[in-house]
């Protein structure tokens, strides 16, 4: 395994951990003047991107070459 692979994967895992925190934890604001992001769409988009990065990692693992990086 190349060193940058290890680095990229570690960073992806870090980002998953970070997203879990910033989307699911922290102070929650509520009330009539709070305007909330349509979090469903937001998170779905986030998840799709995340999963595609997991797929990329899977491909790396199985030895398929990905050009451009």
Partner 1 sequence: MILIYALLPVNNDQDALNLQLSELKGISGENLYIVSVNEIGAVASDVKAIEAISDRSCVLEYAEVIERLARQFTLLPVRFGSAMKSTDAIVQLLIRNRDEITDNIGKVSGKIEFGLKVFCDADKLSEELKEQSGRDSNVPAISGGENHRSVYREYITRKLQVHRQEELLVTYVDSVIDKIKVSLSVFDASCKFKKMTTASNIINTAILVKKEEKDELVIKIENLQTICPGLSFVLTGPWPPYSFVDFTVKHDTI
Partner 2 sequence: MSENKILFNTASLDTLSVELGNQAQQTEESKLKLTPANADSGLAKLVLTLVELIRKLVEKQAMRRVDGGTLSEEEIERLGETLMKLEMKMEELKKHFNLTDRDLNINLGPLGDLM
Report the distance separating Cα 20 and Cα 22, nearest Å: 6
Binding residues for partner 2 (CB under 8 A) = 6-7, 9-20, 24, 28, 40, 43-44, 47, 50-51, 53-54, 57-58, 61
Residue 27 near which of partner 2, partner 1, none (CB within 5-8 Å, type-dependent): partner 1
Taking the complex as a whole, the smallest distance from the CB of residue 7 to partner 1 amounts, in Å, to 15
Tell me if 12 sits within 8 A of 51, measured CB to CB: no
Site string for partner 1, 22-51 (x = CB under 8 A): xxxxxxxxxxxxxxxxxx-xx--xx--xx-
Which residues lie below 8 Å from residue 67, measured CB to CB, with a gap of 6+?
none
């Amino acid at each position: 395994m190349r060193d940058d692979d290890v680095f990229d994967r570690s960073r992806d895992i870090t980002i998953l951990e970070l997203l879990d925190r910033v989307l699911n934890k922290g102070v929650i604001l509520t009330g009539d003047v709070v305007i909330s992001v349509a979090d469903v769409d937001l998170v779905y988009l986030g998840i799709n991107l995340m999963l595609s990065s997991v797929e990329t990692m899977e491909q790396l693992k199985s030895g398929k070459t990905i050009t451009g990086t």
